[in-house]
Amino acid sequence: MFVPHTHDSADSIDDAMEASTAGVRALKISMFVLLGTTVLQALVVVFTASVALLADTIHNFADALTAVPLWIAFVLARRVVSRRYTYGYGRAEDLAGMFIVFVVALSAVVAGWEAISRFFHPVDIRNAWLLILAGLIGFAGNEIVAIYRIRVGRRIGSAALMADGVHARLDGFTSLSVVLGAIFVLFGLPIADPIIGLLIAVSILLLLWGTVKQIGRRLMDGIDPHLLDKAEHALENATGVTGVRTIQLRWIGHRLTGAATIETKAVTLHEAGEVAERAEQHVRKELRNLDSFTITPVQADHQH
């Protein structure tokens, strides 16, 4: 609840998950479990008039929706590049992510507005015990998804899927805050419901802000400097490489592509080609989700 996380596709997909049908299945099943949880909670919202539950329902809906760009990623990954889309279709993930951000942001604003209006126009919370049940349903849905993702992630060796499982477990505690609000209502403190609703709405917007920054960085071809450091270190440790002049990386969906210019003391073109090949192998060992990577070898004593 207190440390916003994003659902960036690069963080949510790794080599093991992409190569495994179990990983894809886990993604789909998780999405439908969270959607089912959302539907059940939405029904209870009608019978309780709770804005805290409304905000939590939107939160779970947001988590279910974030699986959509990943699903698109797996579908489009099977399509070959064309003369129109020479880099493939990976950017569709970012477009889907932008749409989801817009939908969830709009929903969060509505939930926040409703919560604020309740401070000035209080509404009696009906069926508080039903509200407790709905909060527990939200917690159970997230916990089921968490356990499933973590187990499948361990089995197929996907750190990304396990991390998503931990995120789902943390999100379950947001649903428990609805239970806490319902208990306060039962003890004659109905003001707790809009307070918790507003806090959840704010947490959704904080989560979305992290996602917006990630998508914006992607669209600007931004890259984590740590990835550049890893690639540069791998190049420098390759036999025959005396220095790295330039290195570039960019995301195409959840896959990396890039280029580098290395310095070598190799005399013949054949030797330079072998050095470049070894350097590329080193980089691919460090960056498992690397697709195209072009290496240009130049003589160490030559300048640009």
265-290 mean pLDDT: 90
pLDDT for the residue 283: 94
* pLDDT surpassing 80 at residue 273: yes
Please, is 97 exposed, middle or buried when counting C-beta atoms within 10 Å of its C-beta (0-12, 13-18, 19+)?
Answer: buried
* pLDDT surpassing 70 at residue 8: no
pLDDT for the residue 96: 77
β partners of residue 260: 247, 295
**Are the C-beta atoms of residues 23 and 165 closer than 8 Å to each other?**
no
User: Higher confidence at residue 267 or residue 53?
Assistant: 53
Mean pLDDT in the chain? 84
Walk me through the domains of the chain, giving residue ranges and CATH numbers: 9-219 (1.20.1510), 225-299 (3.30.70.1350)
C-alpha–C-alpha distance, residues 4 and 289, integer Å:
25
Please, is 50 exposed, middle or buried when counting C-beta atoms within 10 Å of its C-beta (0-12, 13-18, 19+)?
Answer: buried
Sheet with 290-299: list strands edge to edge.
241-252, 255-264, 290-299
**Are the C-beta atoms of residues 57 and 147 closer than 8 Å to each other?**
no
The 10s digit of each residue's pLDDT in 153-164 is: 888 777 667 877
C-alpha–C-alpha distance, residues 170 and 167, integer Å:
5
* pLDDT surpassing 90 at residue 169: no
The 10s digit of each residue's pLDDT in 243-268 is: 999 999 998 877 889 999 999 998 88
Q: CA 134, 167, 153, 250: dihedral to nearest 10 degrees? A: 140
Helix %, strand %, coil % of the chain (to 5): 70, 10, 20
* pLDDT surpassing 60 at residue 118: yes
pLDDT for the residue 116: 92
